[in-house]
Structure 1
Amino acid sequence: MALIGRVGKRLRRIIQRPASVELTRYEALLPAVGEQEPDVKRLSDAELTEAASRLRQEPEFGDEQLTRLCALGREAARRALGERAFDVQLLGTMGLLTGHVVQMATGEGKTLAGALAAAGHALQGRRVHVISVNDYLARRDAEWMRPVYDLLGVSVGWVEPALTAQERREAYSAQVCYGAVSEIGFDVLRDRLVTRVDDLVQQPPEVAIVDEADSVLVDEARVPLVMAGSVDAGMADEEVAKIVRRLRLGLHYETDPDGRNAWLTSAGASVVEKALGGIDLYDESGSDRLAAVNVALHAHALLTRDVDYLVRDGKVQLINASRGRVAQLQRWPDGLQAAVEAKEQLPPSDRGEILDSITVQALLARYPRVAGMTGTAVAVAEQLREFYELEVAVIPPNTPTIRDDRPDRIFSTPSRKLRAIVAEIESVHETGRPILVGTQDVAESEELADKLAKAGLSCVVLNARNDAEEAAIIAEAGKYGTITVSTQMAGRGTDIRLGGADGSDHERVAERGGLHVIGTARYPSSRLDDQLRGRAGRQGDPGSSVFFASLNDELVLAHAPDVPDGIEADEDTGEITDPAAQRQLNHAQRVAEGVDLEIHRNTWRYTRLIEHQRSRLLQHRDEVLRTDLARRLLAETEPDRCAELEEALGEQALERVCRELMLYHLDQLWADHLAFLTDVRETIHLRALAKETPLDEFHRVAIPQFQKLREEARQRSVKTLAEAKIGDEGVDLAAAGVRRPTSTWTYLVQDNPFDSDAEQALKKVRGMLRKKRN
């Protein structure tokens, strides 16, 4: 009977939790953790720290060590935070220690589970980076968990933009270091440009524990982090921007249903050519102006103010599509960035030569061990397995979720849907229940707030305009009678407690049904839907959620516009109850998820080769940085010149000069190689017209070019060494042309924001056919 029970339990787990790691092994350890609790409680603080330090003698954690760590960690949390870790939090800790992405519901204590896992890795002698989605959460969690780490004898630090190089070095030298994914990535890029070992801030990576893993590993995966060096201000074609502003959709240009491409019609091409003085855009002589027209048209037709970006403090600020808030330090590629600035009649921002870049996916690939935690991992289990070789472990909630997830309410038009949303808010607000409304973008959040004001309802709006106040607003979103209107995923990392931040009014709110969550449309991913729903029903609290949708929402129009015939709406309200409407909505979302997955795959197909090349070059660069390889290589070719310089400068100075020369030329050639690959990537779709596979063609061009780099760097270094002049202060490298950028800065760039290769090729075919017909 016991065997049948175990088999039945496993079957239920498989059915209920697809793509989930078996937890039986970890669950079996929990009684042993509980048995140790009385003995561990009797330890003094010093004895508890000493007991944790004894785990350092274990090279790997077996069941006995996992049990001991969880018992000590639970007691450390009880003393330091007044929180006794639940069994499910310890399950999460074990899942993280064994290299999985653990799915834990909102409010179930992921932060503590992550801290205990980080401490466990540190006690095994590994350096741990706890990677979060933003700087605020990194600092908050490091400071919050520090007393737990102190009791376990583990040092902790964090990195944020304001830190100096020395402060960063100290933070990374701690056994556990917290940081935003962008900040850690930028430090990797900066370290790749140093010319002295002492200037490095990071040590070789060992363990990454990723908070909000779905956001970091999936949503941010194809957003490259960039290190740029000063060149000049980006210049957009102002004349072209003025012309494009006058063009009209349907007459002068068309867009595809996905909103990823825009192209001129024959009438539009004629208008533009005439306005530019009668040039032929499609002749070779007009190719530069055609490129400027295309990028200006993209900025005009496909990027919408208050949806894709804000204009704030005289600058264009991108909005993160998956989180609905300003994407700090993020920008589009220089041409598109400058075009949007010209569209909004703003001064151009600095343009830089890209010195190096790295995608988030490549950044995580540097770590030998990766684990993660989030509230919604199962929905991206396929991508986590495909791109990171990570499996999902679903941790059950400590208290069963009793949230009432109501069926979607679907309407014929967005306007009727909006009226129904306002009516829903009015009705629920009368009961005193707090309400959280998740909107699609800034413009929609402000339109809804305006409608609520006209209905006499006061609300707090959280969007990209006031995202600095996010934590404070979300912390109070559970207060009696509060209406909070927010874009996308409000307050990741911040729990909404019933009764407000202090929970003082918890019972009053709970008695009325808890937090009510309203979605104003289905998101392009079911995972984002689930994240919004998960704001309610925290730790067994009551709550409810409902999504409103329209068959004319952007999601449906873009991904499933062919609505079946015979679907009828109520004449008075416009509401649709036909099950076919729900099927159409679900289909649109599945198509959107498929498109995003294919874009992710397509990006990785190209960047995988670039990352392989970068890895090989960095191995060589690191050897040049840390040894006398540069001097030996140059002495082989120019023995007399090296002997002359050694006599004049001394052996150590000569070694430093050779190292700086070769590092300079390696870095310059890599920057040139990246620019070359960008040009190849942007034109590779033309190869598709010749029936060649774009990816194969990209490899055919990129590999031979890379193989020349090391030899080219040596030859350039030899030439510079031969021409360099010796002055009173040694070799004048600057006069020999060895000049690094006067300033550098980091940012994130929206890689390939519109086109896949197939879309690019299709667009070119359309353009060529139109040209031939006219």
Structure 2
Amino acid sequence: MALMSRVGRRLRRIIQRPASVELTRYEALLPAIGEREAELEKLSDAELTDAAARLRETEAFGTEQYVELCALGREAARRALGERAFDVQLLGTMGLLSAHVVQMATGEGKTLAGALAAAGYALQGKRVHVISVNDYLARRDAEWMRPVYDLLGVSVGWVEPALGAAQRKDAYAAEVCYGAVSEIGFDVLRDRLVTRVEDLAQPEPEVAIVDEADSVLVDEARVPLVMAGSVDAGIADEEVATIVRRLRLGLHYETDPDGRNAWLTSAGASVVEKALGGVDLYGDDGADRLAAVNVALHAHALLTRDVDYLVRDGKVQLINASRGRVAELQRWPDGLQAAVEAKEQLPPSERGEILDSITVQALIARYPQVAGMTGTAVAVAEQLREFYKLEVAVIPPNTPNIRQDRPDRIFSTPGRKLRAIVEEIRTVHENGRPILVGTQDVAESEELAEKLAKADLPCVVLNARNDAEEAAIIAEAGTYDAITVSTQMAGRGTDIRLGGADGADRERVAELGGLHVIGTARYPSSRLDDQLRGRAGRQGDPGSSVFFASLNDELVLANAPDVPEGIEADPETGEITDPAAHRQINHAQRVAEGVDLEIHRNTWRYTRLIEHQRAELLEHRDEVLRTDLARTLLAEEQPGRCEELAESVGEETLTRVCREILLYHLDQLWADHLGYLGNVRETIHLRALAKEQPLDEFHRAAIPEFHKIRAEALKRSAKTLTEASVTEDGVDLAAAGVRRPTSTWTYLVQDNPFDSDAEQALKKVRGMLRKKRT
């Protein structure tokens, strides 16, 4: 019977939870962990720390060590936080220690499970980075969990943009370091430019525990983090921006259904050519003006203020679509960034030469061991396996989820949908239940807030404009009578307690039905829907959720615009109950998810080669940085000059000078190589028209150029060594005509933000056909 029961459980797990790791071996350890509890309670704090220290003496972590770590961690959390870890949290800890992505429901204590796992890795002598989605969560979790780490004898730190070089180095020196994925990635890029070993911030990577793993590992995997060196101010064509502002959709330009592309009509081309003084945009002399027109048209037609970006403090600030937050360091490629700034009549921001870049996927691939945690992992289990070789472990909730998820309510138009949302809020608000409304973007959140104010339903708005107030707003979102309207900011990493921060009205709110979550539209990913729903029903709390949708929502228009005929709406309310409408919206969401996956795959096909080349060059650079290799190589190239300098400035100075010169040229040639590869990527779609495989052509272009870098760097270094002025203080590279940028800066940029290679090719063909017709 026991065997049949185990087989039955496994069959149910396979059927209900695809790609889920079997948890039986971890569950079997829970009684032993419980047996240690009474004994550990008798220990003093110092004795508890000593008991944890003994784990450091173990060569390999096995069953016995898992039991001891979880028992010690439970006791440390009880003392430090007043929280006794649930069995399911310890299952999550063991899943993380086994290098899985654990799926734990909202409010089930992922933060503590992650901290205990990080401590477990640290007690094995491994350095751990706990990677978060933003700086706020990284600092919050590090400070919150510090007392637990202290009791376990594990050092902890965190990195954030405000830290200086020395503080940053100290943070990474801790056994466990928390940081946002972008901040850790930027430090990797900064380390790739240092010329002295002591300036390196990060030690070699060992273990990454990724919070909100599906967001970091899937949604942002293709986003390159960029390190740039200052060149000059960006340049936008103000004349073109003014002309494009006057163009009208449908007459002068058209856009494709998914809003990823825009192009001039023949009438639009004529208007622009005339306004520019009769230039032939499609002639040999008009190429530069055509490029300026195209980028200005993209800024005008495809990017919307308060949806794609904000204008704040005289600057264009991009909004991260999956989080609803301002992406502090994110920008578009230089030409488009300048075009948006011209559109908003702002001065162009600083332009940079790209020195290096790395995708989030490549950043995570640096770690020999990776684990992760999130509330929505099963939906992307196949991608986690394909791109990271990670398996998902679904942790059951400590208390069954009793949240009521109502079916979507679908309407014929967004206007009628909005009226129904206001009415829903009014109805639920009458009895005092707290309401959280999740909107798609800043503009929609503010429009809904205005509608609610007119309906005498006051609300608090949380969006990218007031993200500094996030913690305070979220803390009170579960308060009696509260209405909170938020972008996707409230969809991840937030814990809404019934009754507010102090829980004073918890029972009163629970009796009313708990938090009610309303989605104003379905998101492009079902995981984002589930994250928003998950704000209610925390740890067995009552709660409910409902999504409103329209067949004219952006999701449907962009991904499944061909709505089946015969779907009818109620003539008074505009509500649609036909099951075909539900199927259409679900289909649109699946198409959107499929498009994102294909972009991810396509981007990784190209960046995989670049990452291989980067790793090979960095291995050589690291050898130059840490040894006397540069001196040896340059002595072979310029023996006379090296002997002369050895006598005049000394061996030590000569070695340092050779190293600086060779590192400079390696870094400059790598930056040039990235620029070359960028140009190849931009034109590779033309190969598709010639029936060639774009990826094969990319490899054919990229590999020979890369193999020239080391020899060319040595050749240039020998020339610089001969021409540069070298004294006992070192080398004056600037006087020799070679110098590093006076300042460096970092940003994120969406790879291929508007269209695929195929769409680019079609655009070119359409442009040529239109030109022929005129």
Q: TM-score, normalised by structure 2?
A: 0.99
* 1:406 corresponding residue in structure 2: 406
Q: How does 1:118-129 map to 2 (within 5 A)?
A: 118-129=118-129
Q: Provide closer, same or farther for how the CA distance between residues 119 and 726 of structure 1 changes in structure 2, counting only shifts above 3 A.
A: closer
SS in 1 for 2:85: coil
CA deviation after TM superposition for structure 1 residue 734, in Å = 2.4
Q: How does 1:243-642 map to 2 (within 5 A)?
A: 243-490=243-490, 492-642=492-642
SS in 2 for 1:319: strand
One-letter identity of the residue aligned with 1:559? N
CA deviation after TM superposition for structure 1 residue 170, in Å = 0.8
Contact 1:525 1:593 in 2 (8 A): yes
Matched, 1:738 2:750: no
SS in 1 for 2:317: strand
C-alpha distance in 2, partners of 1:325/1:195? 36
Q: Provide closer, same or farther for how the CA distance between residues 117 and 728 of structure 1 changes in structure 2, counting only shifts above 3 A.
A: closer
Question: 1:69-125 deviations in whole A, cap 9, x for unaligned?
Answer: 101110111111110000000000001000011111111000000000000000000
Question: 1:43-83 deviations in whole A, cap 9, x for unaligned?
Answer: 22111111111111223211111111101110111111110
C-alpha distance in 2, partners of 1:49/1:726? 55
C-alpha distance in 2, partners of 1:491/1:551? 23
* 2:6 corresponding residue in structure 1: 6
Question: 1:130-164 deviations in whole A, cap 9, x for unaligned?
Answer: 01111111111111111111111111111111111
**Alignment root-mean-square deviation, CA:** 1.0
Contact 1:299 1:340 in 2 (8 A): yes
One-letter identity of the residue aligned with 1:535? R
CA deviation after TM superposition for structure 1 residue 730, in Å = 5.0
CA deviation after TM superposition for structure 1 residue 18, in Å = 1.6
C-alpha distance in 2, partners of 1:725/1:226? 33
Q: How does 1:724-763 map to 2 (within 5 A)?
A: 724-727=724-727, 729=729, 731-763=731-763
Q: Provide closer, same or farther for how the CA distance between residues 448 and 732 of structure 1 changes in structure 2, counting only shifts above 3 A.
A: closer
C-alpha distance in 1, partners of 2:153/2:223? 37
C-alpha distance in 1, partners of 2:548/2:473? 24
C-alpha distance in 2, partners of 1:611/1:56? 35
Q: How does 1:83-102 map to 2 (within 5 A)?
A: 83-102=83-102
CA deviation after TM superposition for structure 1 residue 729, in Å = 4.3
**Further displaced range: 432-441 or 46-55:** 46-55
One-letter identity of the residue aligned with 2:754? F
CA deviation after TM superposition for structure 1 residue 733, in Å = 2.8
One-letter identity of the residue aligned with 2:381? A
SS in 2 for 1:594: helix
One-letter identity of the residue aligned with 1:381? A
Question: 1:504-533 deviations in whole A, cap 9, x for unaligned?
Answer: 100000000000000000000000000000
Q: Provide closer, same or farther for how the CA distance between residues 499 and 756 of structure 1 changes in structure 2, counting only shifts above 3 A.
A: same
C-alpha distance in 2, partners of 1:313/1:640? 57
CA deviation after TM superposition for structure 1 residue 492, in Å = 2.7
SS in 2 for 1:166: helix
C-alpha distance in 1, partners of 2:144/2:171? 16
Question: 1:247-293 deviations in whole A, cap 9, x for unaligned?
Answer: 11111111111100001111111111111111111122211111111
SS in 2 for 1:759: helix
C-alpha distance in 1, partners of 2:348/2:732? 35
C-alpha distance in 2, partners of 1:216/1:602? 18
* 1:73 corresponding residue in structure 2: 73
Q: Provide closer, same or farther for how the CA distance between residues 505 and 684 of structure 1 changes in structure 2, counting only shifts above 3 A.
A: same
C-alpha distance in 2, partners of 1:248/1:386? 44
Contact 2:222 2:360 in 1 (8 A): yes
SS in 2 for 1:494: coil
Identity of aligned residues (%): 86
C-alpha distance in 2, partners of 1:60/1:545? 46
CA deviation after TM superposition for structure 1 residue 215, in Å = 1.3
Structure 1 unpaired stretches of 5+ = none
C-alpha distance in 2, partners of 1:188/1:460? 39
Structure 2 unpaired stretches of 5+ = none
* 1:203 corresponding residue in structure 2: 203
Q: TM-score, normalised by structure 1?
A: 0.99
C-alpha distance in 2, partners of 1:232/1:17? 54
C-alpha distance in 1, partners of 2:424/2:55? 56
CA deviation after TM superposition for structure 1 residue 313, in Å = 0.8
Contact 2:122 2:154 in 1 (8 A): yes
Contact 1:214 1:380 in 2 (8 A): yes
Contact 1:376 1:531 in 2 (8 A): yes
One-letter identity of the residue aligned with 1:592? A
C-alpha distance in 2, partners of 1:8/1:596? 36
Contact 2:491 2:528 in 1 (8 A): no
Question: 1:184-217 deviations in whole A, cap 9, x for unaligned?
Answer: 1111111100000011111000000011111111
Q: Provide closer, same or farther for how the CA distance between residues 731 and 18 of structure 1 changes in structure 2, counting only shifts above 3 A.
A: closer
C-alpha distance in 1, partners of 2:188/2:583? 46
Contact 2:160 2:179 in 1 (8 A): yes
CA deviation after TM superposition for structure 1 residue 489, in Å = 4.0
* 2:708 corresponding residue in structure 1: 708
* 1:663 corresponding residue in structure 2: 663
* 1:177 corresponding residue in structure 2: 177
One-letter identity of the residue aligned with 1:202? Q
One-letter identity of the residue aligned with 1:299? A
* 1:51 corresponding residue in structure 2: 51
C-alpha distance in 2, partners of 1:186/1:732? 28
C-alpha distance in 2, partners of 1:154/1:169? 17
Question: 1:715-755 deviations in whole A, cap 9, x for unaligned?
Answer: 00011111123457454332112311111111111222111
C-alpha distance in 2, partners of 1:78/1:728? 60
Q: Provide closer, same or farther for how the CA distance between residues 274 and 153 of structure 1 changes in structure 2, counting only shifts above 3 A.
A: same
C-alpha distance in 2, partners of 1:725/1:404? 75
C-alpha distance in 1, partners of 2:380/2:96? 17
Contact 2:492 2:532 in 1 (8 A): no
Contact 2:649 2:728 in 1 (8 A): no
Question: 1:465-485 deviations in whole A, cap 9, x for unaligned?
Answer: 111111110111000010000
C-alpha distance in 2, partners of 1:731/1:515? 66
Contact 1:262 1:302 in 2 (8 A): yes
SS in 2 for 1:564: coil
Contact 1:332 1:751 in 2 (8 A): no
C-alpha distance in 2, partners of 1:87/1:731? 62
**Further displaced range: 723-732 or 427-436:** 723-732
Contact 2:650 2:728 in 1 (8 A): no
C-alpha distance in 2, partners of 1:356/1:730? 26
One-letter identity of the residue aligned with 1:441? D
CA deviation after TM superposition for structure 1 residue 758, in Å = 1.2
CA deviation after TM superposition for structure 1 residue 638, in Å = 1.2
One-letter identity of the residue aligned with 1:736? A
Contact 1:19 1:392 in 2 (8 A): yes
C-alpha distance in 1, partners of 2:767/2:385? 39
C-alpha distance in 2, partners of 1:130/1:727? 45
C-alpha distance in 2, partners of 1:618/1:727? 29
One-letter identity of the residue aligned with 1:394? V
Q: Provide closer, same or farther for how the CA distance between residues 266 and 128 of structure 1 changes in structure 2, counting only shifts above 3 A.
A: same
